[in-house]
Amino acid sequence: MNFRGFFLFTFALFSSATLAQSSAWLPSKTVRVVVPASAGSAPDIFARIYASELQKALGRPVVVDNKPGASGIIGTENVAKADPDGSTILFGYNQLVTINPYLYPKLPFNVRRDLKPISIVLAGSYVLVANNDLPVRNLDDVIKLAKSKPGALNYGSSGNGSMMHLGTMLIEQATKIQLNHVPYKQAAINDLAAGHIQLLMEPAATAIPQIKAGKVRAIAVTGLKRLAALPDVPAISETLPNYDLAGWNAFWVPGNTENSIIQRYQQEINRINQMPIIKNRAIDLGYSPVSINSQEMIAKINKESDVWARLIKDNHIQLD
């Protein structure tokens, strides 16, 4: 190839790349990242990091809009009923689509029809923690104590049907123990430290600081593997094989959103997930960055939904 031919070939490649880049979808107005959790929560902390980096990539303001309440239904509905133009995205967690549809039969939207997944970006865990005065050091101790005093041990949760509630029920069913459930509307970990309840399955992000401060005792983590932030704390699966209560965070858009918009968000979010600012913050809060695409995300949602639907039905749990 002569110089002129090489130049034209190179120019054509450059022009094609530039054209593809320039034709990629861009928002026409401010983008809202709706977070169905309160300011200062783990989802909010990460949403603000993603929003800041998305703003740089998209060239438009990207703001976090906290809409907590009703087990995440308020924020989810806001996105499900938004215009599908890419200006509204949901940064939420698995309970919104794997538990709520079975727990609340009268949801004002259909999660499979009215939401489209972008990707799962963070995998997290819960930590089973105990009051410091409870004479237990591991899950076997908890099981033995609970069997010796059926119904005497109180465990807290963020409400009926929450991951904290259902995850503890799975332990009860697997070990044939009986615990007393105390649902909370606000954080329960302070009551655990004070001794008003004895056990709590708490998200790692909020459990780890309390554990490291010596206010509560870590018993076990709920994922299949130990956490990097708590390497000496065993996984529940080491005692109960196949037990896996994983929390994860993901992005969704309204149901009729075009694939070109979803693809652009996937591209940018996957890039952001490789940044040290995400990786370092994730480790601190007991998470791991992951990149699970929309098709894999649908399969994961279906698998988890089967587990929770069966547990909710078998235990006759239903909320209005």
pLDDT tens, 194-237? Answer: 999 999 999 998 899 999 999 999 999 998 889 988 999 999 99
CB distance 157 to 201 below 8 Å? yes
Indicate whether 132 belongs to any domain: yes
- Is there a contact between 264 and 25 (Cβ–Cβ < 8 Å)? yes
Domain that holds residue 59: 30-123+246-314
- Which pLDDT band holds residue 69 (cuts at 50, 70, 90)? confident
189 and 262 inside one domain:
no
* 195 plus 159 within the same structural domain: yes
Helices and strands, counts by H and E, the chain: 13, 10
Q: What are the phi and psi torsion angles at 249 (to 5°)?
A: -115, 145
Q: Which of 238, 271, 294 is the last residue of a domain?
A: 238
Q: Within this chain, do residues 132 and 220 fall inside the same structural domain, yes or no?
A: yes
Q: For residues 87-102, b (16+ Cβ closer than 10 Å) or e, as one string?
A: bbbbbbbbbbbbbbbb
Residue 23 in any domain: the answer is: no
Going from the C-alpha of 264 to that of each of 20, 61, 269, the distances in angstroms are 12, 16, 9
Residues 6+ apart with CB under 8 A from 213: none
Show the tokens assigned to 114.
């009215």
pTM for the whole structure: 0.83
Distance CA 111, CA 130 (A): 35
Closest CA relative to residue 43, chosen from 162, 124, 128: 124
First to last CA, the chain: 72
| CATH at residue 229 | 3.40.190.10
Pick the last residue of a domain from 194, 222, 238: 238
Residue at which a domain ends, from 238, 270, 294: 238
Mind listing the pLDDT tens digit for each residue in 88-119? 999 999 999 999 999 998 999 999 999 999 99
**Tens digit of each residue's pLDDT (9 = 90 or more) over 139-184:** 999 999 999 999 999 999 988 888 999 999 999 999 999 999 999 8
